[in-house]
A and B are shown apart, each in its own frame.
Chain A
Amino acid sequence: MAKRSAPEVNAGSMADIAFLLLIFFLVTTTIETDSGLNRKLPPIEEIEDPPIIKQKNIFTVVVNKNNQLLAEEELTDISDLRALAVDFLDNGGGEGEEACDYCQGDRDPSSSDNPDKAIISLKNDRETSYKVYIAVQNELVAAYNELRDREFSRLFPNEGMTFVEASKKYSDPRTSIDEKDRLRPKLSEVKLLFPQKLSEAEPSKTN
């Protein structure tokens, strides 16, 4: 009996099937925009006796119901907020034990003692718009990042990157574990120099 060869399978419709699948995935794809400002909320327990903080170590930022910004009780434009916050954090007006040897500010005795003591207090109204609140938060985080960048490149000049780039690299899952172990102490050292002390008061009621 003659050996019969298997008939050729017609692959002409393969392209059609692939196109169909392709279009399905094209339509269902959403490019996720999953990035944002990370924040940590304070735990709800009341602290028994709150530590006494000198008024000069607090930088008050208030956003009122008309979305106006008040920094240290003065009407300010959001574009100036970053510079004001940097000046406040970097002031280093303390003396003796509270002196700050890496600060490059004016050393104004009426402003903050050192970055570890300096607290930014953010208060908003219930009627404040979320957009403006995010803009303010963004600028305050930017002020911290600016100072951390400066310290990072001062302490580790041969890294060749800024603090923000280094922390992005650190949180990237593709970075090797060795590299992460190398970056971790450096990052936490800089974080310690400029700790993010951003306190949020509970919003005021309008009426």
Chain B
Amino acid sequence: MSKFKKKKGGDLPAISTASLPDIVFMLLFFFMVATVMRDSTLMVKNQLPAADQIQKLDKKDRVMYIYAGEPSSRYTEKYGSQPRIQLNDKFATVSEVGAFVLSERASKRQELQNVLTTALKVDGDTKMGLISDIKQELRKVNALKINYTTRVGDYSQNID
């Protein structure tokens, strides 16, 4: 008649996994809400330069994107390694920028057509010549609000 009777069985009770679905659902909803689907696949190298005096870009429906940079490795064979412009899902020449902007503008709602911003996502190693050409084309179609998309960082990262 010992007072200190051994408790029956030394093994741990099974951990209830009933709340697992709840936790997973919570994570799921977080990612569903936070996700922004990419609408075009990048075909160019896109290492953005760094800047720290930046402003947030407008809402997504008021922005059109122009990418530029060296074609990424799987396209270099076909398109060479000279920096190129990418509009939506294909490579384009400078002269196509104007038409692209006009068609993008036409596809937006009436009240947004005057407040559109053009975001230039250009690889840091591109030469300014190409960018000046793009800017010239944008001026021709009166798309004057632009944004040089950068990543957050100190300017000194740009100088090597």
Contacts and interface: CB of A to CB of B under 8 A. Distances in A.
Decide whether A and B are members of one complex. yes
Interface of A: 11, 14-15, 18-19, 21-22, 25-26, 28-30, 32-44, 67, 78-79, 124-135, 137-139, 141-142, 145, 164, 167-168, 171-173, 202-203
Contacts of B4: none
A28 B143 CA distance: 31
Contacts of B35: 25, 28-29
Contacts of B151: 33
A131 B142 CA distance: 26
Contact of B128 (A14, A32, A203): A203
A79 B28 contact: no
A78 B127 CA distance: 18
Contacts of B158: 131-132, 134-135
A129 B128 contact: yes
27 contacts: A18-B24, A21-B28, A25-B32, A28-B37, A29-B35, A30-B38, A36-B51, A37-B54, A38-B117, A38-B145, A38-B146, A41-B138, A124-B128, A126-B132, A128-B128, A129-B128, A130-B49, A130-B125, A130-B127, A132-B159, A135-B155, A137-B51, A138-B53, A145-B53, A168-B56, A171-B56, A203-B132
Contacts of B136: 202
B36 A32 contact: yes
Interface string B110-136: 000000010100111111110110011
A21 B35 CA distance: 13
B55 A130 contact: no
Contact of A35 (B25, B32, B55): B55
B102 interface: no
B146 A39 contact: yes
Given A35-B54, A35-B56, A39-B147, 20 more contacts: A14-B21, A18-B24, A21-B28, A22-B27, A22-B28, A25-B31, A26-B31, A35-B57, A36-B55, A36-B119, A37-B51, A37-B53, A44-B139, A67-B159, A126-B129, A130-B127, A133-B131, A134-B49, A138-B155, A139-B155
B155 A130 contact: no
